[in-house]
Copies of this chain bind each other. A is one copy, B any other.
């Protein structure tokens, strides 16, 4: 909401998860949570996530839309060796670029295949393909690289490989102001303190206060999450929230911080 103050430098991102297996419920995505946490830590604001089908024009159009709206677009999935791995061709289509076997990618994959003693067949060689002009994202796990075209970063869907690629990529990106957070746990339902909370939100316009109800062990409780660029501001507002909860007979406790 009303977090923005002029000193905050915002760098934005969108994440595109390419995969019918997520949409069918077969696979639970774990990459979103990993990327989201990593981006917060470096000061990039994840503004939107889309999960889309393995369809060439859907991928191409989605990436085209998002790359003009956000500073960065990250994608996961569809860069393997099989017939349903169409991300490289779709990204090339999105940028109207040709696809080639990237020389450095070929080199890395040859070395990896030799080490593992597997044949570098036509299918595996597909994983060395990138749109013309792409830069590689290193894959320390299984060699076949991701790639970057302009502000679009194309990574694997397999979580261990995705995470390794994110770790390789993030230190190379431009980042914004780091947003800190502080969580206050209340053992009251969120309806009890809602009015008081709104007043505290109005009092601290540079902080964004989110209220997340939970129902655990028979208790309706609430996690109140404060976010802002200044840790001191968060401490002051958190004190007001502690007092508000006590005022209503509740017991506030500190939650996770980062």
On A, residues with C-beta under 8 Å from B are 1, 17, 20-29, 32-40, 46-55, 80-85, 118, 121-124, 126-127, 141-142, 157-158, 160, 181, 183, 189-192, 194-195, 197-198, 201, 208-215, 220, 225, 227
CB <8 Å contact, B181 and A26? yes
Residue of A38, A82, A121 with most chain B CB atoms under a 10 A cut-off: A82
Ordered by A's residue number, 22 sampled pairs between the chains whose C-beta atoms are within 8 Å are A1-B84, A20-B208, A22-B36, A23-B36, A23-B48, A25-B46, A26-B181, A26-B225, A27-B212, A28-B33, A29-B33, A48-B53, A49-B50, A50-B51, A82-B197, A83-B198, A83-B201, A84-B211, A85-B211, A127-B191, A142-B215, A142-B220
Instruction: Please indicate the chain B residues that have their CB under 8 angstroms from the CB of A126 in the complex.
Output: 194
Q: A36 CA to B160 CA in the complex, in Å? A: 24
CB contacts (< 8 Å) of A20 on chain B: these are: 208, 210, 227
Docked complex Cα distance between A26 and B121 (Å): 42
Residues of B within 8 A of A158 (CB): 213-215
Min CB–CB distance A92 → chain B (angstroms): 18
A189's partner among B28, B36, B40, B118 (CB-CB below 8 A) is B118
